[in-house]
Amino acid sequence: MARALTVVGERWALLVVRELLLGPKRFADLTRGLPAISQNVLSQRLRELEHAGLVTRRVLGPPASARVYELTARGRELEETLLALGRWGSRQPLPPTGQLSVDALMLALRTTYDPGPDGGPTSPVAVRVGADRFVAVADPGGGLTVTRGETDRCVATVATDDVGSLLEVVYGYRRLDDAERDGLLRMRGDRRSALRFLGCFPRPVTTGDPPPAG
């Protein structure tokens, strides 16, 4: 444990790894995902993670020609550790200024996914949060896999313009009917599959939590 913390124990290090779990990102994308970190500290953490062999840099081919950061195979080995920490931390009250990035919310969905007795969606569901695109697939073992990108295999799409709206609906802070009426969340395709997906995320019990909206 001490040797592991020597590599990833500095503040923000694991959160930088979290932001890269779903795929490579540009420096500007990392800055948006971690708005509380200064650019100097982010640059330092990236250098440290590169030196440790957890992160590497590469240039995307044309037409993008952009430099991105991505996890190495060793860096991706931290996924289960981060998911376990996420499950453990989900029972802590969210601070008043708490704000999730898009990738953080996708990983939160993975850690709180519970298909229940009725089971989760049997086919992939597309999740769109602003310009970000993801595909959610229920695992045979009862878990959830979320990958960045799109596929024509999705039977339903759940779309919203911001992280907060999706978070409020999936965890019961806002009624789905109200969110749809107000245009905060939209569903297309097989509505039954979309509803089954949205109903698979029980809110973790935390001290002082208000009751779900129902």
pLDDT in tens, 92-134: 766 655 578 999 999 999 999 998 877 777 889 999 999 999 9
Question: Stretch 24-37: mean pLDDT, rounded?
Answer: 93
Q: Quickly tell me which residue has 């395709």 as its tokens.
A: 189
Distance CA 213, CA 151 (A): 32
Name 39's Cβ contacts closer than 8 Å, sequence gap at least 6: 27, 31
Share of the chain above pLDDT 70, in %: 92
CATH code for the domain in which residue 133 is found: 3.30.1050.10
pLDDT at 66: 84
Q: How far apart are the first and last CA of the chain?
A: 42
Residues 19 and 116 in one domain: no
Asked if residue 121 and residue 78 are part of one domain, the reply reads no
Q: Residues, the chain, total?
A: 214
Q: Which residue among 43, 58, 84 closes a domain?
A: 84
| CA quadruple 2, 100, 89, 95: dihedral sign | positive
Is 157 found in the same domain as 135? yes
Do 48 and 113 belong together in one domain? Answer: no
Task: Examine the domain organization and report whether 52 and 101 are in the same domain.
Answer: no
**Burial class (CB within 10 angstroms; exposed 0-12, middle 13-18, buried 19+) of 147:** middle
User: Cα–Cα distance between 167 and 174 in angstroms, integer?
Assistant: 9
Same-domain status, 100 and 194: yes
Q: Are 76 and 116 within one domain?
A: no
Closest by CA to 144, choosing from 162, 164, 122, is 122
Q: How confident is the model at residue 212 (pLDDT cuts 50, 70, 90)?
A: low
**Residue 140 — very low, low, confident or very high, per pLDDT cuts 50/70/90?**
confident
Boundary-marking domain end, from 23, 58, 84 = 84
Phi, then psi, of 194 in degrees rounded to 5: -65, -40
The answer to whether position 17 is within a domain reads yes
Query: Has residue 49 got a pLDDT over 80?
Result: yes
**Same domain flag for 138 and 178:** yes
pTM above 0.75, yes or no: yes
Q: Does some domain include residue 179?
A: yes
Together in a domain, 21 and 104: no
| 204 within a domain of the structure (yes/no) | no
pLDDT for the residue 121 = 77
User: Could you tell me the residue range of the domain that residue 12 belongs to?
Assistant: 2-84
Domain's final residue, options 31, 50, 84:
84
Number of domains in the chain: 2
What does the pLDDT read at residue 124? 94
